[in-house]
Amino acid sequence: MARSRRGGGSGASAGGGGGARELKQRVRTARGRKTSSTLWLQRQLNDPYVAAARRDGYRSRAAYKLAEIDEKYHILKPGYRVVDLGAAPGGWTQIAVKRTGVETNRGGHVIGIDLLPIETIPGATLLEGDFMADDAPDRLKAEMGGPADVVMSDMAASATGHKATDHLRIMHLCELALEFAIEVLKPGGSFLAKVLQGGAEKDLMDMLRTNFKVVRHVKPKASRADSAEMYVLATGFKGRKDDDGGEGDA
């Protein structure tokens, strides 16, 4: 359930300067290495977002996906409480920490969880565990200290290579993330989650439209063109029936 992540601030563009055009690097297929592994390595070496993440100090190229979405839709603001599901290796968490003002003591609070251990990110609370475990929602709520402004999920199940199966598995993760978001978001909050092209299933879209004012699919430039991934972004959480002070408050 671990995934790659993202970055922010003025360093969130991978375009960069410099007049000279960078030469593409070719990787020879070593004995014993699969051609697919060689192609992946060659793509990594020539990916401008990979280079930018290395330069800007982000844990992964995925940091730029969240940065780009936020620059367009402004879902992260100083003082916001953010929950990052499937946070490893921490790129999205790094962006959230920057943009909620945690680094500058502006009151933000960022909590991440993943199956894999995540190296410490100053200002973030990071939990190791399976979000699908029965106790995971309560563990997150205990760390939140109040309702969330944003719940975001870059979770993806391990690929099987079978398109229909992979789509169903990632949609299930998205549905679980949405159920949690509905439990913990404050009115006006936002939900962002990875899906696969073909978009969200009808039941999920119906649930999103019932609970949020605006629902859209987005594919940031940092998401590889040949990748089936895209994101569903729901903004303007309408609130729970008990948001006037009932037991449903996080």
Spell out the domains of the chain, with CATH numbers in brackets.
Answer: 9-14+24-237 (3.40.50.150)
Tell me the pairing of strands 81-85 and 212-218.
unpaired
Residue 193, CA distances (Å) to 23, 156, 189, 199, 243 in order:
35, 10, 14, 11, 23
Residue 13 is predicted with a pLDDT of 47
Question: Was 90 annotated as part of a binding site?
Answer: yes
134 is known to lie in a ligand binding site = no
Contact assessment for residue 235 and residue 190, using Cβ atoms and an 8 Å cutoff: yes
**Has 154 been labeled as part of a binding site?**
yes
Q: Tell me: the pLDDT tens digits for 106-145?
A: 789 999 999 999 999 999 999 999 999 999 999 999 999 9
CB 149 within 8 A of CB 80: yes
Can you spell out the DSSP letters for 58-109?
Answer: -SSTTHHHHHHHHHHH----TT-EEEEES-TT-HHHHHHHHHTTTTTTSS-E
C-alpha distances out from residue 249 to 174, 215, 226, Å: 22, 23, 41
Q: Could you list the pLDDT tens digit for every one of the 250 residues in the chain? A: 444 333 333 345 454 444 334 445 554 555 555 544 544 444 545 567 788 778 887 888 899 999 999 999 999 999 999 999 999 999 999 999 999 998 777 789 999 999 999 999 999 999 999 999 999 999 999 999 999 999 999 998 777 777 778 778 889 999 999 999 999 999 999 999 998 876 667 889 999 999 999 999 999 998 878 787 889 999 999 998 776 544 444 4
What pLDDT does 43 receive?
53
User: Among the options 65, 98, 141, 194, which is catalytic?
Assistant: 194
The pLDDT of residue 92: 97
The verdict on whether residue 92 carries a ligand-binding annotation is yes
Please give the DSSP secondary-structure letter assigned to residue 6. B
Q: Is 98 a catalytic residue?
A: no
CA-to-CA separations, 199 to 63, 101, 115, 191, 205, in angstroms, rounded = 22, 32, 25, 15, 9
Tell whether residue 114 is among the known ligand binding residues.
Answer: yes
Reported as half-sphere exposure (CB side, CA atoms, 13 A), residue 226 has a value of 3
Query: How far apart are the C-alpha atoms of 102 and 91, rounded to whole Å?
Result: 15
